[in-house]
Amino acid sequence: MSERMLLTQVLPVGPSVDISDADGRAWLESVYAPDPGPFVRLNMITSLTGSAAGPDGTSESLSNRADRAVLGVIRGHADVVIVGAQSVRAEGYIVPRSARLAVVTRSGDLSGHRLDASADGAPPVLVLCPQPRVAAVRARLAEMNAEVVGVPADADGTLEPRRILAALHARGLESSVCEGGPTLAGRFIAAGVVDEVCVTVAPALTPSSGPFIPVGAADDPPGAVAGMLVDQSGFSYLRLRRRP
């Protein structure tokens, strides 16, 4: 018999629900159901000290089973998962089963990736890069099942989040979740395009080299609490939305 995964709804106050069974999973899916139409989520995990990575340098060592279940539900509601190339290199990354994957990169350097989308007939990974770099990135990823998409870039090669989203919307991918890393997450916040921030806080005091979401003084991130869950291991799951 599998171990139960109990979550307690703290805000608004609610019952403890076992998300290891079908009814609990359906409840969790309803809690995280996005608004209809274009919707942008930012989903990150952090330690109590603000680290986006655990002892092994990846977010995986901060996570637990309940967090991965929440991650699966959030991805299941999305058309596309957006991630930076630095995260792909650091964590390997695996193509999501329920959504397209879009990797944001300047150079096309995805060394260390595990982005094999061909085994199960999944659609190609979308690789978003500056328009002048399309040919070079396409050549670099020639052996990968990838569709390279050119996006207008800033002078330094940075891809602005609104342009990233426009390229995805043009392909019919309207509901998205950005999973970072921290630099990309900070850019999405600064651009003012995030409708909801989902944060898992792990009960760990992991050394941190910087905030898991860098936010500037002029930024206006979502700040209205939409919900909060707590599991039996002390992990909390907070959702922040823009105020009406």
pLDDT in tens, 132-164: 999 999 998 888 889 999 999 998 889 999 999
Helix (H, G, I), strand (E, B) or coil at 235: coil
**75 phi and psi, to 5 degrees?**
-65, -35
**21 phi and psi, to 5 degrees?**
-110, 175
In the prediction, which pLDDT does 182 show? 92
Token digits of residue 25: 């999973």
Count of residues making up the chain:
244
Task: Give the C-alpha separation, 50 to 54, whole Å.
Answer: 11
Give the up-direction half-sphere exposure of residue 37: CA atoms within 13 A in the CB hemisphere: 1
184: Cα separation from own chain's centroid:
10
Neighbours of 136 (CB within 10 A): 14
Neighbours of 123 (CB within 10 A): 11
Strands 39-47 and 196-202: parallel
Whether 55 and 61 have beta carbons less than 8 Å apart is answered as yes
Q: Which residues of the chain are modeled with pLDDT < 70?
A: 1, 116-121
Task: Give the C-alpha separation, 163 to 218, whole Å.
Answer: 21
What does the H/E/C string look like for 195-228?
CEEEEEEECCCCCCCCCCCCCCCCCCCCCEEEEE
232: Cα separation from own chain's centroid:
24
For 92-135, the pLDDT digits (tens) are 787 888 899 999 998 888 887 777 655 566 789 999 999 999 99
Task: Give the C-alpha separation, 136 to 158, whole Å.
Answer: 17
In the prediction, which pLDDT does 197 show? 96
Beta partners for residue 16, in sequence order: 8
**15 phi and psi, to 5 degrees?**
-85, 170
Beta partners for residue 231, in sequence order: 7
Residue reference for tokens 């651009």: 191
Classify the phi-psi angles of 157: left when phi > 0, otherwise alpha if psi is within -120 to 50, otherwise beta. left
